[in-house]
Chain A
Amino acid sequence: MQQIPDVIRQIPLNYYVFFSAALFCIGVTGVLTRRNAIIIFMSVELMLNAVNLLLAAFSSYKADPAGQIFVFFIMAVAAAEVAVGLAIIVMIYRNIQTIDTGILNKLKW
């Protein structure tokens, strides 16, 4: 059951590894520095994309399509997560009229 296209043979795996590391770290920076809750969400999506891409690349190099199916499931769960998270953000906005995380400090001590 090992049928992966030939195209991967011409690309070094290191490119994917370093690219995914860079994209993940950009996402981490976004989560740590941005103040708008929706942009924090976008950064979380960037991190998810980086991890998914690396999983797909490794599964191709191992000539095993099962990794791609796991990535498919991760995407479905990420879609559910975004739907629920955005609903929560909309509710926060409705209650306190802002989604600025610098102002959302009621739970801080």
Chain B
Amino acid sequence: MLNIILIAFCILTVGSALWVLWTKNVLHAAFALLLTFLGVAALYVMAGADFLGITQILVYVGGILVLLIFGIMLTNQAGNKEGGKNMILTENLNRFWGILIAGGFFGLLFYTFTQAGFQEVEQQHFGEISNHSSTIQITGIQLMTDYVLPFEIVGVLLMIALVGASFLASKNE
């Protein structure tokens, strides 16, 4: 049962990622990316990382996607008004070589992973998995004890990046 749900979410995510890849309309790509992020959030939850699932929705869907849509709005002011529609279209480039390289890379990864034998890894570590229902408590404790310095540094980095971004994008000289 759980495997079927997992495969359904995988198909949803890969399908919407392919839609990002193929669609000509930039805004449709952004909305397909929304579906991809939601699917990845569900897969985080199924991997036992529920805190990361929530963070994925908050950061990616709530922050990064909104930023991307703002970027689309700011960079296509002329638009493409042919045929009474107001669509933002784009073309592809080097389709043959791009798909060839990425397909070859996928083949290489697939071959490596089938040779790697992850079943043995699973068997070795399954004994240690406890019967807990959530990782939020342990994640919070570790963030505030072992990883408190990186946590603070990441906060400062994020603030510097946001100040720099708003300075870069501001209009005044």
Whether B150 sits at the interface, judged by CB under 8 Å, is yes
Q: Which residues of B contact A37 (CB under 8 A)?
A: 75
Interface residues of A in 6-65 (CB under 8 A from B): 6-19, 21-30, 32-39, 41-43, 45-46, 49, 52-53, 56-57, 59-63, 65
Q: How large is the interface on A (under 10, 10 to 19, 20 to 34, 35 or more residues)?
A: 35 or more
Q: Are A28's CB and B101's CB within 8 A?
A: yes
Q: B interface, by DSSP: helix, strand, loop or mixed?
A: helix
Total CB contacts across the A-B interface at under 8 A: 266
Q: Which residues of A contact B150 (CB under 8 A)?
A: 73
Interface residues of B, count at CB 8 A:
93
Whether B83 sits at the interface, judged by CB under 8 Å, is no
Q: Which residues of A contact B166 (CB under 8 A)?
A: 87
Instruction: Enumerate chain A interface residues (CB-CB to B < 8 A).
Output: 1-19, 21-30, 32-39, 41-43, 45-46, 49, 52-53, 56-57, 59-63, 65-66, 68-69, 71-73, 75-84, 86-91, 93, 97, 99-102
Q: Are A14's CB and B118's CB within 8 A?
A: yes
Q: Are B121's CB and A61's CB within 8 A?
A: yes
Q: Which residues of A contact B78 (CB under 8 A)?
A: 97
Q: Are B17's CB and A60's CB within 8 A?
A: no
